[in-house]
Amino acid sequence: MSRPAAVARGWVAVAAALTLGACVGPSPEVQPAPVPAPHGTPIDPAMRAVLDSITTAVTAVAPEPAPVTLAIDTVGQLSWLGMLRDTEAIALVRAALQHNRDYQAATARVAEYQAMYIGTRSAMLPELDANGAVSANKSIFGSLVLPPYDLFNATASVSWEVDFWGRVRRTTQASRYDWSGRLADRRAIVLSLVSSVVTAYLQLRELDEDVAISQQTLASRRETYRLARERFDQGLISELDVRQFESEVATSAVSLASFLRLRDSQENALSVLIGQAPGPIGRGGPLDSAVNAVQVPDSVPSTLVLRRPDVMSAEADWSAARARVGAAEAARLPRFAITASYGRQHPSLDGLFGSSSEIYTAQLGVSVPLFAGGRVSSAVQAAAARADEARLHYEQTVLNALRETSDALDGIRLSRDQLTAQETQTRALRRALELAQRRYASGVASYLDVLDVERGLFAAELALAQSRRQYLAATVELYKAVGGSWDDLAAHSP
């Protein structure tokens, strides 16, 4: 065996022995604190009995179609939007994800941290260089003057810091967790954007229903006003009654104009939100079709909360901070480095690759930090403090996630109860208006009976449209609160 080969094998054995050293510092892997499953606040038993009786009565009068359990896969697939049964809502979300600048900036940030991780990871590998040089030399040793000579040199060199204490490994782990955290941040932006677009679309659909209700009410009051004019001409009622009906027609017209203005403004706002110039927005199905198709459980597993993007980002930041504590502690310990070179050197280019031109060096170096004025120990203390800060931020993020999820669950259940009661009131007022109009047409009832019922029905129908939108918006809030990860929600449904 040649001497260079024997030397190389010896250094490889030394390197293998040195790399068996364990990493110093805390493990970057964190154990998420167990969290209770979020749940809604129990409602007063007496109120629950009233609401349950209303629900039973509504179901007996008009049975609703069988609800579809809401099953959601991933944010990228957007399958959860199927609960709305609205192709226009899905198209708006896809347009927003395509044109939104914040999402594009987050994607660029992910690519940046990915490149930083790859660059950091490369420090674990040996660095190999090829070198070549030609020189003209003249040397003097005391009174001895050597004749001028040329020198040709061609070598390959390798250098490698042996990561005995895990400094490089800890730095690489921290960089990987940084990258993972930015991936979670991008998902959080997607989650917020999807929720904002859907919520704005639901508000637009509510305004559509408000416009339709105002138009129907205006038409009904015009008919009532026409009938009042006929009765006035017949001398059956006074002018005061006619003016009252005329005033109600004007009130309906004012409401219609106001809702039309708000709807145009909402269309423009939604256009800008999806990254387009203000303009008309397409419409899908009505709100009640989505309401009847959605069934959301009253509780969710705590694992969904831990998969929220903000929780995952905080957890990744905590792990990165712990890894940097290990890197800072390793910086206080000796560093080992292996350097070696092999090549050819000869006074003439023709003899550069001859048998007598071989040169090589191999060395193991150690650098022991002795005094740095407290800089290294201060770096360790700062890294430990940042790790504590990251841990506290993670714990606070989990608490906020639990609060938001509990609020969303309360909103789901109470919005559903409110919607049931509102439907009952609206149905009763519609029937009351029919009876009042018949009694007024036959001269049995006064105009005040009709006006009172019309006013109540108009307010109730507007409130019903609002309740439908609030219920669907509450499902969006729950989707956002659990991080958009509802793929296993159906399996935990009661």
Q: Percentage of residues in the chain with pLDDT exceeding 70? A: 79
| pLDDT given for residue 39 in this prediction | 55
- Helices 239-273 and 447-481, interaxial angle, to 10°? 10
Both tokens assigned to 188: 């959080």
Longest dimension (CA), the chain: 143
> Higher pLDDT residue, 315 or 448?
315
| Rounded mean pLDDT, 151-160 | 86
DSSP strand E in 96-148: where?
127-137, 140-141, 144-145
| Rounded mean pLDDT, 59-69 | 39
pLDDT digits (tens, 9 = 90+) for 343-393: 888 888 777 777 778 888 888 888 888 877 788 888 889 999 999 999 999
- Residue 462 pLDDT level (bands cut at 50, 70, 90): very high
Q: How far is CA 364 from CA 22, 322, 355, 361, 369, in A?
A: 20, 30, 27, 10, 17
| pLDDT given for residue 211 in this prediction | 92
Q: Which span out of 103-107, 259-263, 362-366 was modeled with the highest average pLDDT?
A: 259-263
| pLDDT given for residue 490 in this prediction | 38
| Rounded mean pLDDT, 168-195 | 89
Of 1-15, 54-68, 161-175, the one with minimum mean pLDDT is: 54-68
| pLDDT given for residue 494 in this prediction | 30
Q: Tell the residue number behind the tokens 């018949």, with chain if given.
A: 438
| Rounded mean pLDDT, 211-235 | 83
| Rounded mean pLDDT, 420-443 | 86
Task: Please list the helix, strand and coil fractions of the chain in percent, rounded to the nearest 5, in that order.
Answer: 65, 10, 25
Mean per-residue pLDDT over the chain, rounded: 78
- Residue 295 pLDDT level (bands cut at 50, 70, 90): low
Q: Is pLDDT above 60 for 219?
A: yes
| Rounded mean pLDDT, 51-69 | 42
| pLDDT given for residue 290 in this prediction | 73
| pLDDT given for residue 45 in this prediction | 53
Q: Percentage of residues in the chain with pLDDT exceeding 90? A: 16
> Higher pLDDT residue, 96 or 36?
96
Q: Is pLDDT above 50 for 69?
A: no
Q: Is pLDDT above 50 for 156?
A: yes
pLDDT digits (tens, 9 = 90+) for 188-211: 888 888 888 889 999 999 999 999
Q: Is pLDDT above 80 for 4?
A: no
| pLDDT given for residue 491 in this prediction | 37
DSSP 65-109: PPPEE-----TTTTGGGGGGT-HHHHHHHHHHHHH-HHHHHHHHH
| pLDDT given for residue 5 in this prediction | 53
| pLDDT given for residue 240 in this prediction | 79
Query: 24-138+164-333+375-492 has which fold?
Result: Outer membrane efflux proteins (OEP) (1.20.1600)
Q: Is pLDDT above 70 for 51?
A: no
- Listed residue (466, 430, 449, 464) closest to 217, CA to CA: 430
